[in-house]
Structure 1
Amino acid sequence: MLGLQKKWLYLIILSIVWGSSFILIKKSLIGLTPLQLGSLRTLFAAAFLLALGFKHLKTIPKDKWKWIAISGFLGTFIPAFCFAFAETEIDSAVVSVLNSTVPIIALLLGVFIFGIGFTRNQLIGVIVGLVGSLLLIWSGATLNPNQNYWYSLLVVVASFCYGMNVNIIKKHLQDISALGIAVGNFIVLVIPAFIVLTFSGFFEQDILANDDVMTSLGYLVILAIVGTGVAKVLFNKLVQISTPVFATSVTYMIPIVALFWGLLDGEQFGLSQIGAACLIIFGVYLANRKSPKKTFI
C-alpha cells in the first residue's frame, strides 16, 4: 500500500514540475537561443546533481556505463534541444499536449524493439492517440497560421527518445539507484553540453549588460534544477517502482498544468485543439487500460 501511494505521489509531483517546464522554456528563450538553452540546462542540472550525489557514481558497475550514456542522451540531452527549438515556433501548451504521446510511443517501442506483447485496447489506444496528434497539429496550424507546425516533429523525436529511455531504465538499469542513474547521465553529458555552448556564441555576449539574458538565466536555473535535476531523479525512481507504461502516464496531467500556464501567458488554444488534446489523452488511457486478451507479434 505504501509503495502504491509513493508512486502516485511521484506521478503528481512530476506532472506539476514538468507541466511548468514548458512555460519556463518559453521564458528562457526570450534571451537565449535554443542551443544555449539546451546546453545550459544540461550543465546547470549536472552541477546540481553532482553536488548532491557524486558519491553515487561508484555504485555504477562498469558494464552499465554504456546504458547510462545511452539513457543520458535519449532521456535528457536530445529532448532538451528538441523542445527548445520546437518552442521557437509552437506555443508551449501545444508542445506539452504533443508530449503526451510518450506512453503510446513507449508501448510501440516495447512491441517492436523489446518484444513485448500488446492488447486490443492498446492497439486501439495507439490509433486514437495518433489521430488526435494529427488533428492537434492540423487545428493548431489553422488557428495559428504564423507558427511553423513542422516543428512539431521535434516533439515527436523527443517523445521517441523518452519512450526508448524508459524501456532502457526498466530493462538494464533496474538495480542502480535513481540518483546514481541521474548523476551518471549528467557526467556523460557535461562535455557534449559544454562543446555545444561554446559554439552557440554564448561566451561572446556581454551577459551582465543584457537584461533579457539575465532574466532568461533566472528562469533557466529553475528549469534546470527542479525541472531537470530533481525531476530526473524522481522519474528514474518512479520507473523502478512501477512500470514503463505507468511512469509515462505522467503525461496525462502535464498538459493540464501546461495549458493553465499557457493561457495565463496569453497563448491561444481553440476548441478544436481542446478536442484533439482530449482525444490524445483518451488514446493514452486506452493504451494503458488492462485487458485480459493479449496479442503477440
Structure 2
Amino acid sequence: MKSKDLSELALLAAIWGASFLFMRLGAHEFGPLAMAALRVGGASLFLLPILAARQGLGELLREWKPLLVVGLLNSAIPFALYAYAALSITAGLSSILNATTPLWGALVAWIWLSQGLNASRLSGLALGFAGVVFLAWDKASFKPGGSGWAILACLVATLCYGIAANYTKRYLAKVSPLTVATGSQVSAAFMLAPLAAWQWPAQLPSAQAWTSVALLAVLCSGIAYILYFRLMQRVGPTNTIAVTFLIPVFAVLWGYLFLAEAFTLHMAAGCAIVLLGTALAVGLLRLPLPAPKPA
C-alpha cells in the first residue's frame, strides 16, 4: 500500500477505536437502541448533503435494495449490539472481539462464495476462534450481572460485519464509496427509528452522553465509513480489513486514558491469539510449508 493509504488506515483505526470509548460513555444513559439510532441518524444528516452536492442521490435510489441489506448488517444490527455490550464489558475487550470480523469474513466467503481456504487459513480460523474462547472462558457467565450475553452480542455483530463485507464485494463493487456509506446509514436509521422511539430514555441524557453520540455519528460513522469504503475500493477488502489489527491498540489506549480501564495479561494473550489467527485466516501470514521430498 502507498503511504497515503497506510495513513488513512491508521486514522480509521484510531477513529473506530474511539467508538468503543464513546459507546461506553453514552450507552448507559441512552440505552442500546436509542444510541444506535441516533448514531446512524446523525451520520445520515452528515452524509446526505455531501452526496447530494456530488450528484449521487440518483445512484443511491437505484441501489436502494442492496444498500438496505448493507445498512441492516453493517450498521443497524452491529451498532445496537455493541452499544448493548458497552453496558457491561470494557472498550478494550469489545474491540478485541471486534477483531474477529475478518475470521467471519473468511468463513462466510468460504461457505457462500466458495473461496478456497488452504491449510494455513483454516489453521488461522481455528486459532482465532480459540483465542475468543480463551478470552471468554472465565467471563462468559449468562447469569444476572455476567458478561456472557455482551460477549455473544459482540460475536454476532462481527458475524454481521463478515457477511456485509462479502455482500458489498459481490453486489456493490461498482457503486461509489460515498453512496454505500450514505445509503447504509440512511437505511439503518429508518430501521432503528421505531425501536428507538419505543426504548427512548425516560430521563434526559447528560451533555457528555449527547457529545458521545454526536462524535459517534459524525466521526465514527460518517467520516469513518467514507474512509472505509474508499480504502476498500482503492486497496481491496483484504488490505482494508487489516484495520481490525489496529483498532484494539487504539481502543485499549483510549479506554486507559479516559476511563482508567485495565488491560490485563489475560486480555493481552487473548488479543495476540485472535490477531495471529486473523492474520493467518486472511492470508497476511502463512504457515511454513514442509520442504518437498527429493525424488
The TM-score normalised by the length of structure 1 is 0.88
Deviating more after overlay: 8-17 vs 261-270 = 261-270
Structure 2 unaligned spans of 5+: 289-295
Report the alpha carbon displacement of residue 228 of structure 1 after superposing the two structures with TM: 0.6
Structure 1 unaligned spans of 5+: none
Measured in 2, the distance between the counterparts of 1:191 and 1:249 equals 30
Measured in 1, the distance between the counterparts of 2:216 and 2:39 equals 7
- Match of 1:169? 168
Report the alpha carbon displacement of residue 60 of structure 1 after superposing the two structures with TM: 4.0
Deviating more after overlay: 115-124 vs 218-227 = 115-124
- Match of 2:265? 271
- Match of 2:23? 25
- Match of 1:213? 206
Asked if 1:4 corresponds to 2:20, the answer is no
Judge conservation of contact 1:24–1:223 (CA < 8 Å) in 2. Answer: yes
Deviating more after overlay: 162-171 vs 282-291 = 282-291
Judge conservation of contact 1:90–1:147 (CA < 8 Å) in 2. Answer: no
Judge conservation of contact 2:30–2:200 (CA < 8 Å) in 1. Answer: no
Report the alpha carbon displacement of residue 268 of structure 1 after superposing the two structures with TM: 2.9
Measured in 2, the distance between the counterparts of 1:75 and 1:139 equals 29
Identity %: 27
Paired residue secondary structure (2:276): helix
The TM-score normalised by the length of structure 2 is 0.89
Q: List aligned pairs for 1:54-203, cutoff 5 A.
A: 54=52, 55-60=55-60, 62=62, 64-140=63-139, 147-202=146-201
Report the alpha carbon displacement of residue 42 of structure 1 after superposing the two structures with TM: 1.2
- 1:243-288 Cα deviation digits (max 9, x unpaired): 3222221110100111112223122332122111111111112222
Measured in 1, the distance between the counterparts of 2:287 and 2:96 equals 29
Measured in 2, the distance between the counterparts of 1:243 and 1:105 equals 17
- 1:220-249 Cα deviation digits (max 9, x unpaired): 101110001111111111221223222221
Judge conservation of contact 1:29–1:37 (CA < 8 Å) in 2. Answer: yes
Report the alpha carbon displacement of residue 61 of structure 1 after superposing the two structures with TM: 6.8
- Match of 1:14? 12
- 1:123-143 Cα deviation digits (max 9, x unpaired): 11111111111101124459x
Paired residue secondary structure (1:31): helix
Paired residue secondary structure (1:253): helix
- 1:28-78 Cα deviation digits (max 9, x unpaired): 12421111111111111111111221331213473x322111111111111
Measured in 2, the distance between the counterparts of 1:284 and 1:189 equals 28
- Match of 1:39? 37
Judge conservation of contact 1:22–1:96 (CA < 8 Å) in 2. Answer: yes
Measured in 1, the distance between the counterparts of 2:183 and 2:263 equals 39
Q: CA RMSD in A?
A: 2.3
Judge conservation of contact 1:57–1:183 (CA < 8 Å) in 2. Answer: no
- 1:76-120 Cα deviation digits (max 9, x unpaired): 111110000111111111010000001111000000011111122
Report the alpha carbon displacement of residue 149 of structure 1 after superposing the two structures with TM: 2.5
- Match of 2:292? none
Q: List aligned pairs for 1:222-233, cutoff 5 A.
A: 222-233=215-226
Aligned residues: 283
Measured in 2, the distance between the counterparts of 1:69 and 1:43 equals 15
Report the alpha carbon displacement of residue 20 of structure 1 after superposing the two structures with TM: 0.9
Asked if 1:248 corresponds to 2:210, the answer is no
- Match of 1:289? 284
Judge conservation of contact 1:119–1:291 (CA < 8 Å) in 2. Answer: no
Report the alpha carbon displacement of residue 200 of structure 1 after superposing the two structures with TM: 1.4
Report the alpha carbon displacement of residue 170 of structure 1 after superposing the two structures with TM: 1.6
**Higher helix fraction: Structure 1 or Structure 2?**
1
Measured in 2, the distance between the counterparts of 1:263 and 1:290 equals 30
Asked if 1:280 corresponds to 2:274, the answer is yes
